[in-house]
Structure 1
Amino acid sequence: MPPWIAGQARNDKVSGFLKIEGLAKTFVPGKPVFDNVSFTLDQGEFVCIIGHSGCGKTTILNVLAGLDQASAGHVFMDGREVVGPGLERGVVFQSHALMPWLTVRKNIAFAVESRWPEWTRDAVKTHVEKFVAMVGLSGAIDKKPAQLSGGMKQRVGIARAFAIQPKMLLLDEPFGALDALTRGTIQDELMSIVRETHQTVFMITHDVDEAILLADRILLMSNGRETPSGYAPGGIAETVTNTLPRSRNRAGLHHLPGYYELRNHIVDFLVSRAKAGEDH
């Protein structure tokens, strides 16, 4: 077995900073999108989930964020069950979700003031400016979203999520709508910030190279499917451990020993097995 394959996802109870037990979601009776999903994240770990559209990735993230309810199963973070949204979880979506009538500064300040209502105006100002600088937007801090490019808007969203200092960051394809050059630049910035802050991150992506660049582990998710014996729900088919050096960067990624084997394994899953639901 290749060294990066951790094997089939476990269905028994798991432990960790984030603990998902037996998660299921059904929209159409008798045809659950996914069933019996169990996995864990350690504190400071970066985990990506990858799979075809419709397999339930975003639904899982929304359940972790407290924005949706599972049909079955439980989510625990830091020993407490997740039952709704909370400021201990920062979320960044593909759409920037900024308030268009507020400047960059005020968009982030709104979140900071919600997190720490007792802070003085000067404390909020200093905190906001720190995180705006972290994503390289100090020169645009008093601009409104309409004056920003798509990549700049996503940086604001990332700064806002980090500024509330969440215990966990949830990313739903935050770079999917960006051009390749901008996406690569923000990936590098995100990786640098995560390493500096030791942030725990759960991220959805369709981009295999993005997952290999950013993640410590990659969850491969299969689609629900019709079988001769009935309907089989989707789920976590395989967990892949990223064995490439953690100091990797985008420019040198394809030069690292083992990169192509790892990439080919994930692509093979997506092309040949994710929809068929075959075991590896």
Structure 2
Amino acid sequence: MSFLKIEALAKRYGNDGPPVFENIHFGIERGEFVCILGHSGCGKTTILNVLAGLDEASAGHVFMDGREVKGPSLDRGVVFQSHALMPWMTTLANVEFGVRSRWPEWKRERVAAHATKYLEMVGLAHALHKKPAELSGGMKQRVGIARAFAIEPKMLLLDEPFGALDALTRGTIQDELLFIVQATHQTVFMITHDVDEAILLADKILLMSNGPQAKIAEIVEVTMPRSRTRASIHHDPQYYRIRNHLVDFLVERSKLYAGDAVQGHDPKNPPVVRPGLVTDDAPAPNPEPITA
């Protein structure tokens, strides 16, 4: 069994309407970084909330590390688009709060040292004693990321954590996230609307059809080396093949999978696509980011 296993997940609001999504099947291996892409309304955030134990599915099961997910747990760290910091606490105290929740038996000095280590990893060693009102939006989000990593969860769940940030800040935090994930071998499930962000960060990208009755239509493997960076990714011909495949799905194919429109589609085994490995010449680069 995969480290995270989702079986026949479905969500319905009310008794009469169609399900937001249904027959959601996929797995995530330990240490894998998985992004999910799809148009608004397909249920991406609801899926993440079910994985976090913050919402209940109408049908199906979620298993993590061999145990069924039933409610919230410190084994799963969550970072939302909103930083959700406690405004009366300093940067350090916000992270220490999570650390004490995880290890209540630790001495104060050990808690402070552990929290400081993760704040240093996200470049906030100089802001340990500042309160959220004194921080920029990007700095607040770094605190949220440090707090999530500091509890050393088995899995990290990210709900568009960079969506409200400007492009330069977003890029900087992406680099920091990559550094921490690679240093800690963290398992990550992330929602994003940014195609370039998904290619940069993910090992696999789940593509969801449009809702209602949304499904996992394809699983795209990012075949570029894991050592890719924002500076180097555009020089790899695979990048444009993968990007074009994702954009084409979001613009054209995602609506074809609505309901049961595609004949022969097996929701239990969505096709795995490796668009970067094709041998034809890559199309001309398009430097403008495209979001869904």
- 1:22 corresponds to which letter in structure 2? A
Residue 248 of structure 2 aligns with which residue? 268
Q: How far 1:274 sits from its partner (Å)?
A: 1.4
Match of 1:137 among 120, 124, 129: 124
Tell me how far apart the structure 1 counterparts of residues 42 and 90 of structure 2 sit (CA, whole Å): 37
Residue 19 of structure 1 aligns with which residue? 5
Deviations 1:150-189 (A, max 9, x none): 0000000000000000000000000000000000110011
Residue 6 of structure 1 aligns with which residue? none
Tell me how far apart the structure 2 counterparts of residues 269 and 157 of structure 1 sit (CA, whole Å): 32
1:257 aligns with 2:243: no
Structure showing greater relative contact order (alpha-carbon pairs closer than 8 Å, 6 or more residues apart): 1
1:33 aligns with 2:13: no
Residue 5 of structure 1 aligns with which residue? none
Match of 2:227 among 240, 247, 269: 247
**TM-score, with length taken from structure 2:** 0.87
- 1:17 corresponds to which letter in structure 2? F
Counterpart contact for 2:36–2:206, Cα < 8 Å:
yes
Match of 2:147 among 160, 170, 175: 160
Residue 55 of structure 2 aligns with which residue? 68
Match of 1:190 among 162, 177, 196: 177
- The residue correspondences of 1:37-186 to structure 2 (distance < 5 A) are 37-186=24-173
Deviations 1:45-82 (A, max 9, x none): 00000000110000000000000000000000001110
Q: How far 1:275 sits from its partner (Å)?
A: 2.5
Q: How far 1:245 sits from its partner (Å)?
A: 0.8
- 2:62 corresponds to which letter in structure 1? V
Tell me how far apart the structure 2 counterparts of residues 203 and 125 of structure 1 sit (CA, whole Å): 28
Tell me how far apart the structure 1 counterparts of residues 163 and 241 of structure 2 sit (CA, whole Å): 25
Tell me how far apart the structure 1 counterparts of residues 136 and 218 of structure 2 sit (CA, whole Å): 37
Q: How far 1:91 sits from its partner (Å)?
A: 0.2
Structure 2: which 5+ residue stretches go unaligned? 263-270, 272-292
Which one is further off, 35-44 or 25-34?
25-34
Counterpart contact for 1:33–1:223, Cα < 8 Å:
no
Tell me how far apart the structure 1 counterparts of residues 254 and 90 of structure 2 sit (CA, whole Å): 43
Counterpart contact for 1:92–1:161, Cα < 8 Å:
yes
Counterpart contact for 2:43–2:211, Cα < 8 Å:
no
Superposition RMSD in Å: 1.0
